[in-house]
Amino acid sequence: MAEHATQAVLGHGTQIQRGGLLDTDPFTNVMEVISFDSPDEQGDDIEVSHFESPSKIKEFIRGMIDAGTAAIGVNWNPGVYASHASLRSDKVDGLLRYYRFILPGYNARPLELSGAIGVEQLKKLDAMIETRRSNAAVFVDLFKNDERFIIQRENGMSSWFAFTVILNPKFNVDRKKVMNAMKQADIGYRIITGGNFLRHDVIKHFDYECVGEIKNANIAHDRGFFVGNHPHDVTPQIRRFHEVLVKAAG
């Protein structure tokens, strides 16, 4: 058997940071962390089979997303470390707070089972992309003529994994107000692929240099977000998304 150099990455330098109730609150380190299990996000499948399902094959649609649970192990000493006492109070009061996980490296190794499932999923890929593109046509039609919203410009034929929106800086739309409106409407959203990577604390683990002004990345970081697309018709959800954004933008 051929020998291979290890691809292991030392976990030394990993930081767990606790924020506050607002995304603008400062972050502080949780002291003496000894272990960390990251959340395993899972999407539910909902069975929608009926008496006329083609070929008597069960049908499923994608359901809600479970963000998963993170577990942190520490050398517990709340009498010395305020961060440990804060962890205990967070569990008691149940309020939503922001946490940040800074890891020096990450290595994903798919299993053979993942590959076997992936091969079968690839057989559905063309149909899934076609549906995503149909959803995208609805999205583009609703947003293309509204200068308050900058949407992605398609190069070639995109698979449209998600719908990206940047609030045009010219119109000074309040992103926090827009995000609160989406929360109230139960619309899930995320920052665009992590935003400007240079503004994350993990950057200190890299040897890098910047050339010129990082203007557009900062605009995407401060004024952008995206919502997910799906491989089934989500026209009503897209229209609702548009309705919420237009109202929130004023």
**What are the tokens at 40?**
């395993």
CATH 3.90.1150.10 residue window(s) in the chain: 125-249
Half-sphere exposure of 130 (CA within 13 A, CB side): 4
pLDDT of residue 79: 87
Q: How confident is the model at residue 217 (pLDDT cuts 50, 70, 90)?
A: very high
pLDDT, the chain, mean: 85
pLDDT of residue 3: 60
Task: Give 93-127 pLDDT, tens digit per residue.
Answer: 877 788 888 877 655 666 788 788 888 888 999 99
DSSP state of 124: T
Computed over its alpha carbons, how large is the radius of gyration of the chain?
22
**What are the tokens at 131?**
């549906």
Is a pLDDT exceeding 70 seen at residue 244? yes
Average pLDDT, integer, range 215-243: 93
* CA–CA distance, 58 with 44 (Å, rounded to integer): 15
Distances (CA, A) of 65 to 44, 52, 188: 6, 28, 10
pLDDT of residue 1: 47
pLDDT of residue 10: 66
Average pLDDT, integer, range 138-163: 93
Is a pLDDT exceeding 90 seen at residue 134? yes
Residue 229 and residue 135 in contact, taking contact as beta carbons nearer than 8 Å: yes
Name the superfamily (CATH) of residues 125-249: Aspartate Aminotransferase, domain 1 (3.90.1150.10)
